[in-house]
Amino acid sequence: MKKLVFCTDAPLVVNKITAGGAGFTLLETLVAMVVFSVAIMGLSTVSLSLVNTNKLTRHNFDASVLAQSHLEILRNTGFGLGADGVLGTSDDVIPPNLTSVNPSNSTLTDPAKMFTQADHAYTLTNGAETTPILDSPGLTTPTAVMRRTWIVRDIPSLGIKSVTVVVGWREGSTNFYSVASTAIQGQ
C-alpha cells in the first residue's frame, strides 16, 4: 500500500495558463465587460439625445419657414390708406387678415402671450391653414400639429401696420414658438 504525503511548502498553482503569464483571469474579463457595458450605455444615451435634438431642430426650421412665408403673404397683401393718406380713417382699404381685432395685444412681447391673444389663428396641417381658431388656446396638441397666429398693430402716425407672426408647437411637455415680424407701409 502506498502512503500519501502532503507537502505544505509547495506553491499552489490555480491555473496553468496564468502561471505561464498568458491569458486573462476571470476577474479581468468581468471588469472588461463592465467597462464595455458602461461605454455602450453612454453611447446610447448620447445617440438618443442627438435624435431628440435633431427632431427639435427640424420642427424649429419648419416653424421658421411657415412664419416667414406667411409674413411674405401678408406683406404682399398690402393695404390702402384711402384718399386722405391717413391710417385709421373710414376710407382705408384694409383686408380682413390685416385687421387688428384684439386691442389688448398691442403691448405684448412674450411669444406665448402673443400666441394666445392673437388677432388671427389657424391650425396648420402639412403647412396649410386648415381650421381658424378665434380664441387661440394654449398648445395642447401633439407635435405633428403646428398653429400659426399673427398680431396686427396699427401705427397711424406713420401709416404703418406692424405684423408679428408666431408659429407654435408642442414637443413633449414643452411649448415652442418661432416669431417673425415686419412693418407694412400703407399705399
Say if residue 85's pLDDT is above 80.
no
- What integer pLDDT is reported at residue 87 of this predicted model? 76
Alpha carbon distance 154, 164 (integer Å): 12
Please report which confidence band the pLDDT of residue 138 belongs to, taking 50, 70 and 90 as the band edges. low
pLDDT of 157 > 90? The answer is: no
Return the pLDDT at 3: 65
Max mean pLDDT range (10-14, 35-39, 81-85, 152-156): 35-39
- Per-residue pLDDT tens digits for 6-51: 556 655 555 555 455 667 889 999 999 999 999 999 999 998 888 8
Q: Would you place residue 106 in the very low, low, confident or very high pLDDT band (cuts 50, 70, 90)? A: confident
Q: H helices within the chain, ranges in order?
A: 16-19, 26-77, 111-116
> What whole-number distance in Å separates Cα of residue 150 and Cα of residue 153?
10
- Asked if 89 and 79 touch (Cβ cutoff 8 Å), the reply is no
- pLDDT for 77 equals 82
Per the prediction, the chain carries an average pLDDT of: 78
pTM: 0.66
Those residues whose C-beta lies under 8 Å from the C-beta of residue 82, and which sit 6 or more positions away, are: 89, 90, 91, 92, 93
For 138: left if phi > 0, alpha if psi spans -120 to 50, otherwise beta; the answer is: beta
